[in-house]
């Protein structure tokens, strides 16, 4: 688009109600838990439909109602799943909810359509959650910045080994785990999709090229476990909403499968694959990332005995070893006890 046209459209775009914040990922790092809790804050409005997939899919898509109804693309199949889910919930919805659904499912995908999805939130801080935004290309992030330059970006991180394992479990969720071979799991671990979504530093580099670090909040999954209230309080401050009230925290795990251990042999394979990621993250952030690196190296060099290891790894003996050997533990009850999540400038290690 010519620069002169961009300059004319920019003020018009900013009159629309675009989100004040985006939760961009990472996948399998607590974004659903975060979305549900932020929805419960009286000063925040978020669509009831998590994962709008506008910037990663819909913005560049050429589609029609026929395609949505019968197309075989992933976005068309997702559209049909969302329609079926929403129809099943209509007995609980207000006319405003139904009007939003009609707009969302039948509208033409463009910036005006996207902005219209947030009009119900006028007067509140509005946001949306789509973890696939973490792997947007820079030209796509440039468009995000073009229409909402003041947006605050929230990025949740998780031990790379655990994130890759959790994604693999999700990919085979329709199958009996006993029927999934090690080779199949290895392909999931090494696959392009798993690698992309675990490249946290790549995500931060791409988004940080457009949004200043003061507009980026880094969250750690461990803080959801150890410090859920304090994590939310820090995030509320970052979003400029009331952090003081004692809002009910949803503690139930979302989309979790009843797996409390993982095969040690697969944990070792994951550690071999993601040790480099863990080392780079420790260099950048320290704290929980130091444990990620410790656990990965320990699994590679001296795997624990036994066929299975506790999952998540903070429940394993590796966490206790790390605390004993390093003397550091962000967990409650220790001298270093405190959440690690916060605005990017406050969580980086300066070295």
- The string of pLDDT tens digits covering residues 268-301 is 999 999 999 999 999 999 999 999 999 999 999 9
CA torsion sign for 80, 85, 88, 93 is: negative
**What CATH number does residue 234 fall under?**
3.40.50.300
Q: What is the pLDDT, as a whole number, of residue 235? A: 97
Find which of 59-63, 76-80, 243-247, 298-302 is predicted with most confidence, using mean pLDDT: 298-302
The count of structural domains within the chain is 1
Q: Is residue 237 part of a domain?
A: yes
Q: Is residue 79 part of a domain?
A: no
* Complete DSSP assignment for 33-80: HHHHHHHTSTTEE--SSS---IIIIITT----HHHHHH--SHHHHHHH
Mean pLDDT estimate for the chain: 86
Does residue 12 have a pLDDT over 50?
no
Q: Is residue 275 part of a domain?
A: no
Q: What is the pLDDT, as a whole number, of residue 3? A: 53
Q: Is residue 298 part of a domain?
A: no
Q: Is residue 350 part of a domain?
A: no
Q: How far is CA 121 from CA 138, 173, 273, in A?
A: 28, 35, 43
- The string of pLDDT tens digits covering residues 201-240 is 999 999 999 999 999 999 999 999 999 999 999 999 999 9
Q: What is the pLDDT, as a whole number, of residue 247? A: 65
Q: Is residue 21 part of a domain?
A: yes
Does residue 92 have a pLDDT over 70?
no
Q: Output the six-digit token pair for 292.
A: 């990620």
Q: Give mean pLDDT, residues 94-110.
A: 84
Q: Is residue 170 part of a domain?
A: yes
Q: Is residue 315 part of a domain?
A: no
- Give CA–CA dist 56/136, Å, rounded: 6
| Residue 179 lies in domain | 3-61+109-257
Q: Give mean pLDDT, residues 235-264.
A: 77
């Amino acid at each position: 688009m010519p620069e002169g046209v961009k300059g004319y459209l920019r003020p018009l775009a900013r009159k629309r109600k675009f989100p004040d914040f985006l939760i961009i990922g990472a996948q399998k790092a607590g974004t659903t838990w975060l979305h549900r809790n932020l929805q419960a804050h009286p000063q925040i409005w978020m669509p009831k439909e998590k994962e709008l997939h506008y910037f990663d899919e819909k913005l560049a898509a050429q589609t029609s109602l026929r395609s949505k109804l019968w197309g075989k693309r992933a976005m068309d199949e997702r559209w049909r799943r969302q329609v079926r889910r929403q129809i099943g919930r209509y007995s609980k919805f207000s006319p405003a909810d139904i009007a939003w659904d009609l707009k969302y499912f039948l509208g033409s995908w463009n910036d005006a359509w996207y902005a219209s999805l947030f009009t119900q939130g006028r007067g509140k801080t509005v946001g949306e959650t789509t973890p696939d935004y973490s792997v947007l290309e820079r030209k796509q992030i440039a468009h995000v910045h073009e229409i909402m330059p003041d947006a605050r970006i929230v990025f949740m991180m998780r031990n790379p080994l655990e994130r890759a394992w959790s994604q693999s479990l999700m990919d085979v969720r329709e199958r009996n785990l006993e029927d999934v071979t090690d080779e199949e799991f290895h392909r999931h671990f090494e696959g392009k999709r798993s690698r992309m979504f675990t490249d946290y530093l790549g995500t931060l580099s791409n988004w940080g090229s457009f949004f200043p670090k003061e507009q980026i909040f880094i969250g750690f999954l461990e803080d959801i476990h150890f410090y859920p209230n304090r994590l939310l309080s820090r995030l509320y401050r970052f979003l400029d909403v009331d952090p003081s009230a004692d809002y009910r925290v949803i503690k139930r795990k979302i989309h979790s499968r009843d797996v409390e251990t993982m095969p040690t042999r697969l944990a070792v394979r994951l550690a071999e694959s993601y040790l480099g990621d863990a080392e780079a993250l420790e260099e950048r952030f320290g704290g929980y990332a130091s444990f990620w690196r410790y656990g990965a190296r320990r699994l590679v060099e001296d795997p624990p005995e036994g066929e299975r290891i506790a999952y998540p790894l903070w429940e394993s003996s590796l966490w206790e070893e790390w605390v004993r050997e390093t003397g550091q533990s962000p967990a409650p009850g220790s001298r270093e006890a405190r959440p690690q999540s916060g605005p990017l400038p406050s969580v980086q290690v300066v070295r």
